[in-house]
Amino acid sequence: MGESDFLNDDWLEAQRNYWAEWSARAGQSGAGAEPALNPWEQALNQWWQSLAPTAPQMVQELLEKTLAQGRQLFQLAEQFAATGQRPEGGPDWQAAAQQTIGDLRGILAGITASMSPLPEAVTEGATDYLERLSALPGLGLVQGSQAQREVIARLLRFQKAHQAYELFFVDLGKQAIARLQDEIAKLDGQGETLDSARALYDLWVSVCEGVYAGQVMTPAYVELYAELINSQMALKQQLRDMLDESFTLLGMPTTRDFRAQEQRAHQDRQALRALQAEVAAMRRAPAKKRAGSRKRPAVAGK
Amino acid sequence: MAPIDLPPEKLIAEVVEYSRKLQAGAERLCTAGGLASGGLSSGVSPREVIYREDKLTLYRYLPDASASAAPNPVSEKVPLLIVYALVNRPYMADLQEDRSTIKGLLASGQPVYLIDWGYPDSADRFLTLDDYINGYIDRCVDRLLERHQVERINLLGICQGGTMSLCYTALHQPKVRNLVTMVTPVDFQTPDNMLSAWVRHLDVDLLVDVQGNIPGDFLNWTFLALKPFTLAGQKYVQLVDILEDQAQVENFLRMEKWIFDSPAQAGEAFRQFIKQFYQQNGLIRGEVILGEQPVKLNKITCPLLNIYGEQDHLVPPDASRALKGQTGSTDYSELAFPGGHIGIYVSGKAQALIPPSIGRWLDER
Residues A80 and A132 grouped into a single domain: no
Q: Is the pLDDT of residue A300 over 50?
A: no
Question: If residue B156 lies in a helix (H) or strand (E), which one and from where to where?
Answer: strand B153-158
Determine, yes or no, domain membership for A98. Answer: no
Domain boundary among A200, A218, A239: A239
Q: Is the pLDDT of residue A229 over 70?
A: yes
Q: Is the pLDDT of residue A65 over 90?
A: no
In sequence order, which residues have a C-beta less than 8 Å from that of residue B237 and are 6 or more positions away? Answer: A66, A69, A70, A73, A198, A201
For CA atoms B39, B44, B50, B56, the dihedral sign is negative
Q: Is the pLDDT of residue B156 over 90?
A: yes
Q: Where are the alpha helices (DSSP H) in chain A?
A: 9-27, 39-51, 57-85, 92-113, 120-124, 126-135, 137-140, 146-189, 197-215, 219-250, 255-284, 287-301
Q: Where is mean pLDDT largest: A52-56, B39-43, B133-137?
A: B133-137
> How large a percentage of chain B has pLDDT more than 90?
65
Pairing of strands B112-116, B56-61: antiparallel
Residues A147 and A190 grouped into a single domain: yes
Report, as an integer, the average pLDDT of B39-51: 86
Contact B26 A51 (CB under 8 A): yes
Per the prediction, chain A carries an average pLDDT of 74
Determine, yes or no, domain membership for B22. Answer: no
pTM: predicted TM-score of the whole model, two decimal places: 0.84
> What is the domain range of residue B53?
41-197+269-363
pLDDT for res B276: 97
> Which of chain B's residues have a Cβ under 8 Å away from the Cβ of A236?
210
Residues A117 and A79 grouped into a single domain: no
pLDDT for res A124: 57
List beta partners, residue B165.
Answer: none
pLDDT for res A226: 93
Residues A70 and A130 grouped into a single domain: no
Determine, yes or no, domain membership for B156. Answer: yes
The dihedral formed by the CA atoms of A69, A75, A77 and A79, expressed in degrees to the nearest 10 = -150
By three-state DSSP, how is residue A198 classified?
helix
Q: Is the pLDDT of residue B295 over 60?
A: yes
pLDDT digits (tens, 9 = 90+) for A102-154: 555 555 555 555 544 455 545 555 556 666 666 665 555 455 577 778 888 89
List beta partners, residue B335.
Answer: B307
Determine, yes or no, domain membership for B344. Answer: yes
Domain boundary among A220, A239, A258: A239
Determine, yes or no, domain membership for B345. Answer: yes
Determine, yes or no, domain membership for A251. Answer: no
Q: How many domains does chain A have?
A: 2
pLDDT band at A5 (very low <50, low <70, confident <90, very high): low
Report, as an integer, the average pLDDT of A3-25: 62
Residues A124 and A207 grouped into a single domain: yes
Residues in chain A: 302
CA–CA min distance A115, chain B (Å)? 6
Determine, yes or no, domain membership for A160. Answer: yes
* CA closest to B138 among chain A residues: A277
Of B197, B267, B47, B275, whose CA–CA distance to A223 is shortest? B197
Residues A62 and A128 grouped into a single domain: no
Q: Please give the full DSSP string across A237-253, using - where no structure is assigned.
A: HHHHHHHHHHHHHHT--
B126, B268 contact by CB (below 8 A): yes
Residues A21 and A123 grouped into a single domain: no
Residues A185 and A78 grouped into a single domain: no
pLDDT for res B21: 83
pLDDT digits (tens, 9 = 90+) for B331-342: 999 999 999 998
In sequence order, which residues have a C-beta less than 8 Å from that of residue B220 and are 6 or more positions away? Answer: A110, A114, B259, B260, B262
Determine, yes or no, domain membership for B341. Answer: yes
Note whether A230 contacts B: Cβ–Cβ < 8 A: yes
Q: Where are the alpha helices (DSSP H) in chain B?
A: 8-31, 101-107, 129-130, 138-148, 160-171, 194-199, 204-211, 216-224, 228-229, 235-242, 246-260, 267-272, 282-285, 317-321, 343-346, 348-363
- Report the alpha-carbon distance of residue B227 to residue B233 in Å, rounded: 10
- Report the alpha-carbon distance of residue B213 to residue B262 in Å, rounded: 13
Q: Which of B22, B198, B211 shows the shortest C-beta gap to A225?
A: B198
- Report the alpha-carbon distance of residue A184 to residue A211 in Å, rounded: 15
Determine, yes or no, domain membership for B276. Answer: yes
Residues A12 and A78 grouped into a single domain: yes
Residues A80 and A124 grouped into a single domain: no
Domain boundary among A239, A262, A285: A239
Note whether B149 contacts A: Cβ–Cβ < 8 A: no
More confident of the two residues A232 and A34: A232
Per the prediction, chain B carries an average pLDDT of 90
> What is the domain range of residue A223?
113-239
Q: Is the pLDDT of residue B232 over 60?
A: yes
Lowest pLDDT segment from A151-160, A184-193, B3-12, B80-89: B3-12
pLDDT band at A29 (very low <50, low <70, confident <90, very high): very low
Determine, yes or no, domain membership for A117. Answer: yes
Report, as an integer, the average pLDDT of A253-269: 92
Q: Is the pLDDT of residue B208 over 90?
A: yes
- Report the alpha-carbon distance of residue A161 to residue A226 in Å, rounded: 9
The dihedral formed by the CA atoms of B115, B137, B163 and B119, expressed in degrees to the nearest 10 = 50
Residues A62 and A146 grouped into a single domain: no
**What was the ipTM of the complex prediction?**
0.87
Pairing of strands B289-290, B153-158: unpaired
Q: How many domains does chain B have?
A: 1
- CATH number of the domain to which B81 belongs: 3.40.50.1820
Name the A residues in 254-273 with CB < 8 Å from any B CB.
Answer: 258-259, 262-263, 265-267, 269-270, 273
- Report the alpha-carbon distance of residue A196 to residue B11 in Å, rounded: 7
CA–CA min distance B49, chain A (Å)? 21
pLDDT for res B119: 96
Q: Which of A5, A63, A236 shows the shortest C-beta gap to B29?
A: A63
Determine, yes or no, domain membership for B7. Answer: no
Of B218, B191, B178, B184, whose CA–CA distance to B361 is shortest? B178
pLDDT band at B34 (very low <50, low <70, confident <90, very high): low
Determine, yes or no, domain membership for B237. Answer: no
Determine, yes or no, domain membership for A99. Answer: no
